[in-house]
A and B are shown apart, each in its own frame.
Chain A
Amino acid sequence: MKLTRRDFSVGVAATLAAPAFVRNAGAQGATIKIGQVLPVTGSAAEQGKFALNGAKLALEAVNKAGGVLGKQLELVTEDDQTTNPGVVLAFSKLAAQSDIVAFLGSIRSTQVHAMAPDVLKLGKPMAIGGTDPNLTHMGNKWLFRFRPNDSYSGSVIADYGTNTLGKKKWAVLHSTDAFGTAGGKALTEGLSKLGITPVIDQGYANQSQDFTPVVLAIKQSGADVLGSYFTFENDLGIFARQLRQLGVNIPWVGSPSIVGVSSTRLAGASLYGTYGVADYAEDSSPTAKAYGKAYRDAYKLAPDNQSAWTYDAVTVLAKAMNTAKSTDPEKVRTAILAIKGFEGAEGQYNFDANGDGLHGYNIVKNDKGNIVFEKHIEAKT
């Protein structure tokens, strides 16, 4: 067969155009893809399982209701190994897939910090659960938070312990990672606004095997109330047992992990009577209650914030894309920021210009192992 100049030109043009054609075909594929980085291995693997449960539940609901832009929504996941290098690698793998239109990031602030520069570079929306206030205040317009941030939780913990429980001598305890440091600072600032300086402000390293020195320091400080920011439920469980064993029985108001499913199970009676700020509280609203029922039916597990935020994130991302009638990042971003008064499992979403959706916390109590809703406090900042 003789190859003419015309055949050659057509061949070259087809070869050059093929990748673009394939990419275009991919973008116009049968599904719309959302990427999710989550810990499948490592110390937060259990939390990762819950995060996936919530996202999948929302995915089913969205697809049952007609999907996004007439297509089914699909979730693509990568294991972040509960480490910062792991999360960066996991995100880079997802970011390389050009047909993924938005992402679910981590509930761990330190990992969101690790990914943040790459998210900014890529320029696509990422839903996050990390509660370090800085995450949405550092000029990264692609991060949208689906939990209240710790400047709110700090002020709510301080308010409840001081004004409702009537305690003034505060012990502040927090992990020394990004989440714990920011949380401890937020609580101290919340107390400062009430004219209180903590009698002790103590940090601890994650994965501690023994908290005796910490407990003794709290005991010696004469504190009459404890406010805490624990990152890992395992640490919280060990601390709670040692705290009570060494005879410290002061009221305790903790960050959301204190009312997490794992903490409640691991620490048992040591956490009875404690309070927690909870973004997700089953009895806080009809939507939260409906989510709780759906989650229990699907997984035979108690729901908590680990899954509720990813449920809301998928729901809101789908809603934003449908409202924007596009998956274009800028249009989706505008649509997310326009969401006001949307009732989610975690609470009512009113996105502000920084990308924070929620602005208050529920106070819940551990009543002999049952997490009971006490009151909702909209934060004063």
Chain B
Amino acid sequence: MDQILQLLFTGIGIGSVYALVALGFVLIFRATNVVNFAQGEFSMVAAFLMVVFAVDLQWPYWLSFIISLAGMALFGVIFNLGVYYPLRHRTFLPVIIATIGASIFLANSVLAIYGPAPQVLEGWFETPGIQLGPVYLDSQYLLIIAVTIVLVVLNYWFFEHTMLGKKLQATSQDKEMASLLGISVSSMIMITFIYSAVLGGLAGILVAPILFVSIQMGATIALKAFAATIIGGFGDVTGAIIGGIALGIIETFGAAYVSVPYKDAFAFLVLIAFLVFRPQGIFGERVAEKA
């Protein structure tokens, strides 16, 4: 029982990271109908920004955090203008290829600027974790879980109860109709990119004290987050969160009770099963229809 509780905590913790990145995938997909394969690199870039401010420049952690997220907001603007906007009238394929190109460009740019060495970024808390009976609760995982819960609530409130949220939803559902109703579609898409970049950045900064800050960290998380979005339902915010957490739990328990080396395979087995038997995911609409 102790082991199950420990695995459950870790599974939810790592799953929450997938969920945060998956949320970025979903929001951009809803707004633009394309998958942003650079979403993982958003996390990596933000983690490196934190290293620059908090470690290299020794600025206070909270200040570094705010500036890094502000940097990610700006990054979202640049990404939208540089990668999506010039191709917005093309089919989804060139845009997807452009995001893959951007992810390679970002990884190699950070490599060129910062070098290949993984970096250590300490977490928010002095205490690495707390022992609650037989279960060890890692402080950083606790923070990640808490942030995910807050974001789920905020997202729901934002999309369902604010005018901006409703405009974003209208844009994602039918751009032409939204435009006829006086909604600035390009502004809505810009806001989505900013929000996705900040979300991805937040995930990267939160997970960095556990996984370290490396060029590969984004790609590693993004692959799982992408699987999470398929499982949850591409285009569905709740699905992304549930898909991410479910994936974290599945792979952690699969590794513990079936096979450790095939840990990653469980995630992708579940993904394949969903693609075959329920391609629309738990909550979403069919990818084929959306695309």
- Residues of A that sit less than 8 Å from B by CB: 41-43, 45-46, 48-49, 176, 202-205, 207-210, 212-214, 216-217, 220, 233-234, 237-238, 241, 245-247, 262, 265-266, 268
Contacts and interface: CB of A to CB of B under 8 A. Distances in A.
B118 A213 contact: no
Contacts of B14: 209-210
A209 B211 contact: yes
B55 to A, nearest CB: 12
Interface in B91-126: 108, 111, 115-118, 120
A216 B7 contact: yes
Given A45-B111, A217-B260, A245-B136, A207 B120 contact: no
B278 interface: no
Interface in B1-57: 3, 6-7, 10, 14, 17
B45 to A, nearest CB: 17
B40 to A, nearest CB: 12
B116 A213 contact: no
Contacts of B10: 210, 212
A207 B216 contact: yes
Contact of B260 (A203, A245, A262): A203
A237 B215 CA distance: 16
A214 B116 CA distance: 27
B3 A246 contact: no
A213 B215 contact: no
Interface residues of B, number: 34
Contact of B261 (A45, A176, A210, A212): A176
Contacts of A262: 117-118
B260 A213 contact: yes
21 contacts: A43-B215, A45-B215, A46-B118, A49-B115, A176-B261, A204-B261, A204-B263, A208-B263, A210-B14, A212-B252, A213-B252, A214-B255, A216-B6, A220-B3, A234-B211, A234-B214, A234-B216, A238-B212, A247-B136, A262-B118, A266-B120
Contacts of B183: none
Contacts of B256: 212-213, 216-217
B118 A203 contact: no
A212 B7 contact: yes
A376 B108 CA distance: 41
Contacts of B117: 46, 49, 262
B210 A238 contact: yes
Nearest to A244: B128
B261 A203 contact: yes
A234 B212 contact: yes
A131 B118 CA distance: 24
